[in-house]
């Protein structure tokens, strides 16, 4: 695989995937927020049915939060390999500017992974808290009957 294609894998493949995962996270979060606002706890006779409906898509958000740093790290490793390849391939003097550009690319992939992971983890934890609150409210309604 030529050097430029590896650079494109990091720039468009890894970072593009992270942008896509970020979009999925926020789309699912918005859908869940709207569902939580509209859910009628009195419609549920069984706690497990309510729990299933409340927890839909949360595993996906959690998986994105957990795996985004690894995807960013993969981009970092590819960019570091690319940098070493460039250093080893140069016959004459090594251009420090070129090396710095490739190291910056590596750091960009790591940062992108963290930028996706941190909000996804925060959203997941906030949604879990909301699920717990709604389940507690459902139990209170059951006790009142």
Length of the chain in terms of residues written = 145
What pLDDT digit, counting tens, does each position of 34-48 carry? 999 999 999 999 999
For 92, phi then psi, to 5°, come to -95, -140
Question: How far is Cα 41 from Cα 142, in angstroms, rounded to an integer?
Answer: 10
Residue pointed to by tokens 């390999």: 81
Average pLDDT of the residues in 8-34: 93
Secondary structure E strands in the chain? none
| Cα of 33 vs its chain's centroid, Å | 18
Question: How far is Cα 22 from Cα 119, in angstroms, rounded to an integer?
Answer: 9
Q: Does residue 1 carry a pLDDT above 70?
A: no
Whole-prediction pTM value?
Answer: 0.86
CB atoms within 10 A of CB 96: 8
Q: Where are the domains of the chain?
A: 3-144
Q: Give the residue, 88 or 29, on which the prediction is more confident.
A: 29
The conformational region for residue 46 under phi > 0 = left, psi -120 to 50 = alpha, else beta, is beta
pLDDT band at 57 (very low <50, low <70, confident <90, very high): very high
């Amino acid at each position: 695989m030529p050097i430029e294609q590896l650079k494109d894998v990091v720039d468009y493949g890894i970072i593009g995937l992270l942008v896509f995962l970020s979009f999925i996270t926020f789309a699912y979060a918005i859908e869940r927020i709207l569902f939580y606002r509209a859910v009628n706890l009195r419609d549920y006779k069984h706690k497990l049915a309510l729990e299933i409906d409340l927890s839909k898509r949360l595993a996906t958000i959690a998986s994105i939060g957990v795996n985004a740093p690894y995807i960013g790290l993969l981009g970092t490793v590819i960019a570091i390999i690319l940098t070493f390849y460039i250093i080893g391939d140069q016959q004459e003097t090594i251009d420090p500017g070129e090396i710095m550009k490739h190291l910056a690319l590596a750091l960009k992939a790591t940062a992108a992974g963290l930028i996706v992971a941190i909000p996804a983890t925060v959203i997941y934890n906030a949604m879990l808290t909301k699920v717990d609150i709604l389940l507690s409210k459902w139990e209170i309604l059951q006790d009142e009957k």
